Structure formats: structure tokens, C-alpha cells
Structure 1
Amino acid sequence: MALSSSLADLSVLLVEPSPMQSGLVRRMLEQLGVVRIAVADSGQAALAALAEDAGDGMVVISSLYLPDMAGTDLVAAMRADERLEALPFILISSETQPQRLEAVRQSGACSILAKPFSAKQLERALFAAADYLYPPPVDELDAADMEELRVLIVDDSIASRRHLCRLLAELGIARITEAANGREAVAALADAMFDLVVTDYTMPEMDGRELIEYIRTHSWQAEVPVLMVTSEQNMGRLAAVERAGVSAICDKPFEAGSIRRLLIEALTR
């Protein structure tokens, strides 16, 4: 299905306990052309609503702090349910503590809106969700090429791996191997050839930088493109990753269009 050109095609479930805040966000959504809007005031109410209706075009927008759970708990519950795991999730957060932000970035949200946010920022997040729901056709590589590609995904977050697998499947890529850390990836690279490696940075056993250094200096697949998808914000560490030989870096949470573009660039170099 082609990318939706109108936000009217979306259905939004807004999860917000504050009537004033939900009213403000609802008016912003209506001004942007969203016509199908439902509101839930808790995580359990949201899950109950999604059990009743999680049809085409559904997007969940949730506050971080809910009366019965955190927004990160809500998205985790969604990602654990095969009926809901592919729904785009936009998190609204005023959180500034680095340790809490890491959990937010790893939560499986496709966008994070920092309070206060503008209508333009909300619009961008919604179009990113639409791009995820209705991916555009890819012309750079034909279907036969995509079917033959072998991709290794390395991430200790199951939600992130599943999210990446769905995006790759939309591109026609089905030959995907998963690893939960760098050491598992090293073992996979020793046993099979890959056309692309997609890795996180922060992982147990062996992190992304160490994995890239191993690939570039010790692996028989030293030239394989490596794309890093990470929530890491430390510029020194990211510079070390670039020196190690990463092909491209993409932030978490990432927009589907951005990851598709970087994948195509890495594969067609």
C-alpha cells in the first residue's frame, strides 16, 4: 500500500489521564485532519480498547506517566501481543533523566514527543507513523535482489529486533538472522555469509563498537556493510564507532523512512 498522503486515514488512540491535556492534544489532532480519535485514561483502558478495535491505520499516542503503568509498560505489553505488536506507538514525555530516557528510547516507540511540543512536531510524528503503516515502494533494488539478501540483526532488545524485522519484511527481505549481543553475532558471522549487519550499540557480552571492530579486523566478512541503530548520545562513543568502521548510524527511536533509506544506501554502495 502506498504512503498515505492524508492524516485522515489514521485512527488515533490517545492515552492520557489528564482531561485538560487530552483535550489539548485532541484539538491539535483535529486541526491536523485526524478525524478518528478515541481517548483512554489508563494503560489497561487502552489495552481493552485495542482488544476491541486495532484495525488498519491505528496509531497509539500515550503519555509516559499513567495511573496504572508507565507508557513504556504499555508499549511493552503491545509488543508482546501479536495482534498489537506492529502498531505505531508515539510516546509523549517530559522526562529529562538520562536513565529514564534510555528506557523510553528502547521501549519500541516509533517517535518520542518531548513536552511541550508543537503541532508541526506532532504532524511529523504522525506522518512517520503513516510511513510505517503504508510503506512506499522501493525502486532501488528489485524483488529478486531483496529475496536473496541475507541480513544479521544484533540487538539485546526483542522489541527492537521485531521492529527491524517487520521493516525488512516490508522491503521483501526474508532471510534474517537474529543475535542478542555481539558474541552471538560473531558466532553467526563465522557460520554464514551476510550482505548486511544491523546492530545496536549498548549490549551485554560484546557491544556494537566491539562487534564492528571485530568485523573489520578479524572477520572473513570484513567488508560487509554495518548499520548501527542506537539510542547512544555520547559523541565520544559515537566517534569511536565511526572510527571502528560503521557504514551508517541511525538514532533510536527511528522513523521507518529513515531506516529504509539508510538500508538502501548501505546495500547499493
Structure 2
Amino acid sequence: MEKLLIPDLNIMLVEPSDTQRKIITQLLIKENVSEVDPVSNLAEAKAALTAHSSDVIVSAMYYDDGTAIDLLKFIKEHTELSAVPFMLVSSENRLAKLEEFKQAGVAAILPKPFEPLHLSRALKASLDLINTDELDLEFFDIHTVRVLLVDDSKLARNHIRRVLEGMGLKLITEAVNGAEALTYIKESEFDLVVTDYNMPEMDGRELAEYIRFNPQTAHIPIIMVTSESADSAHMTNIQQTGVNALCDKPFESAEVRKMLAALLSE
């Protein structure tokens, strides 16, 4: 299948402000996007997506009839739309507000106002999700790599699974927290663990410690996915567990590809 390029993209822009719609549309055009379909609220976005899907959705956080989370949930609930990359544009800087979007598997979160560099990177991240490209490994057949994916958010698991499957990883077992992951680890063998940090019952740090200090599992590479800030106290605790790589949410294909190539080639 021929890969899409930025000029091939049809982008739906959901923005209630006329001024902001014009500004963002012009910035998209400068990035060589040729088709931008602007709408102003949730109802218009749902109607347009029902009539014809888009390749990428760029959305403000708040509308007069709902929020971007409402639209994101609508998209994820529809099979034909669930794979459409979603980019959030917002001036919101409270971590608690942004966490829900990170957990839901947005392709990118752009600050408002954003620089052209931010938009360019976000568009490339969206294209990476659309254009699947199997990872070529020296020591493994990528199709036989056994992955344990651990995250308490179903939306986050779906997003991470999609990224991994796009790289050729097919043998993926899902667990909702560290405790459930341990039952799978005791019953089956895995070549890679991808785990969230914040989870109920047993978090990612406790799971990583079990894996790393158990002789039967100590060899398994671990990628920890977290929305924690780099200078948080939790990050120090994570790094002390023997995690092989840390990956920020949103879970970006290009970053993960480099991690997998390094971890599975060792």
C-alpha cells in the first residue's frame, strides 16, 4: 500500500473560534496540507465524520456543545473511525486535565499558541500511525516477538497496540494492571513488556521490580510508558527499577521504533 504524505491528508479542524480556525488552517496550509475541513462544534464534527471520515482530526479542547473528550470517545466507539489520529490543540497546562487525553491515546498535544515546529512534529506523528512499516530485526522475526502490554486504560491499550501492530508485532497479550500481568508472566514467556506506570492494585514500578529481580524473568526488556514529568520524584523511583526505556504519553511511533530496534537487537 502506498504511503500517505502530508499533502495527501484530509484534516478535520474542530475549533469554535472563527479567528483560531483561520489561524490554524493557514498554519496547516503552510505545512502543505491541501484539504482542511473546518467545523465549529461537536454536533458538526459528528455529522461530518458520519458523512465522510477524515485522515486526521485537529481539535480544540472545549466547544459550545461539549469537549474534545466527547468527540474522542465518539471516534473510539466507532470501528471505522477508531484508527483516525487525534491531535489536541489547547492552552490548558494543568496535568490533571491533559492526563485524560494522554490516556485516551491522542497522537499529539499542541500548546496554544503553537510554533510551526510543534505542528510539523505532530503531523509526522500522525502519519507514522497511518503509515505502518514493519520493524526489521537482526536477531528476531518481528512476528514472533511475544509482548505483554499492561495499562489500566482500555483506550490507551488500544492506541499502544495499534502502534505496536503497525511495526509488525502481532503476539500481544493485554493486562489491566501489574497484578494481572504477573499471572500471565507466571504462566507464559514474553520477549518484551510494555507497561504503564500509574495503575491500581500493582503499578508499573512494582511490576518492573518483580520482573527484574526474578531470575526467570530478569532478561525481559521493559518499556515504561508514563505521563510523569521528567523531574518528578516518581521518575527517580522508576529509573531505579531497571526499566530499559522510558516512553512519554502520547505514545509516538518514531520514538518507540528506535527503542524497539535497540532493545530487541541486544
Q: TM-score interval w.r.t. the shorter chain?
A: over 0.9
Distance 1:91 1:169, change over 3 A: same
Q: 1:220 aligns with which of 205, 216, 220?
A: 216
Percent identity (aligned): 40
Q: Which residue of 1 aligns with 2:78?
A: 81
Q: Which residue of 2 aligns with 1:10?
A: 9
Q: Which residue of 1 aligns with 2:178?
A: 182
In structure 1, distance between residues paired with 2:22 and 2:37: 11
Which TM-score applies when normalising by structure 2?
0.94
Distance 1:245 1:67, change over 3 A: same
Q: Which residue of 1 aligns with 2:35?
A: 36
CA contact (8 A) 2:13 2:39 kept: yes
1:39-188 alignment, distance < 5 Å: 39-54=38-53, 58-141=55-138, 145-188=141-184
Q: Which residue of 1 aligns with 2:192?
A: 196
Cα-to-partner distance string for 1:115-170 (whole Å, 9 max, x where unaligned): 1101221111111111211134533358x711211100000111111111112222
Distance 1:157 1:262, change over 3 A: same
Of the structure 1 ranges 177-186 and 251-260, higher mean CA displacement relative to structure 2 is found in 251-260
In structure 2, distance between residues paired with 1:44 and 1:262: 40
CA contact (8 A) 2:87 2:107 kept: yes
Distance 1:137 1:193, change over 3 A: closer
In structure 2, distance between residues paired with 1:223 and 1:139: 21
CA contact (8 A) 1:202 1:232 kept: no
Q: How far apart are residue 2 of structure 1 and its match?
A: 6.0
In structure 2, distance between residues paired with 1:219 and 1:110: 37
Cα-to-partner distance string for 1:198-226 (whole Å, 9 max, x where unaligned): 00000111111011011112362121000
Stretches (4+) displaced over 2 A: 1-4, 135-142
In structure 2, distance between residues paired with 1:107 and 1:40: 22
Q: What secondary structure, in the 3-state scheme, does the structure 1 residue paired with 2:12 have?
A: strand
CA contact (8 A) 2:151 2:195 kept: yes
- Root mean square deviation of aligned Cα: 1.7
Q: What secondary structure, in the 3-state scheme, does the structure 2 residue paired with 1:244 have?
A: coil
Q: Which residue of 2 aligns with 1:239?
A: 236
In structure 2, distance between residues paired with 1:168 and 1:118: 29
Q: How far apart are residue 48 of structure 1 and its match?
A: 1.8
In structure 1, distance between residues paired with 2:94 and 2:257: 30
Q: Which residue of 1 aligns with 2:249?
A: 252
Q: What secondary structure, in the 3-state scheme, does the structure 1 residue paired with 2:104 have?
A: coil
In structure 1, distance between residues paired with 2:132 and 2:193: 22
Distance 1:232 1:219, change over 3 A: farther
- Structure 1 unaligned regions, length at least 5: none
In structure 2, distance between residues paired with 1:147 and 1:128: 23
Which letter maps to 1:150?
A: R
Cα-to-partner distance string for 1:30-52 (whole Å, 9 max, x where unaligned): 12111111011112321221111
Q: Which residue of 1 aligns with 2:25?
A: 26
In structure 2, distance between residues paired with 1:27 and 1:98: 29
Cα-to-partner distance string for 1:70-95 (whole Å, 9 max, x where unaligned): 11221122112211111111001111
Counting matched residue pairs gives 265
- Structure 2 unaligned regions, length at least 5: none
CA contact (8 A) 2:137 2:264 kept: no
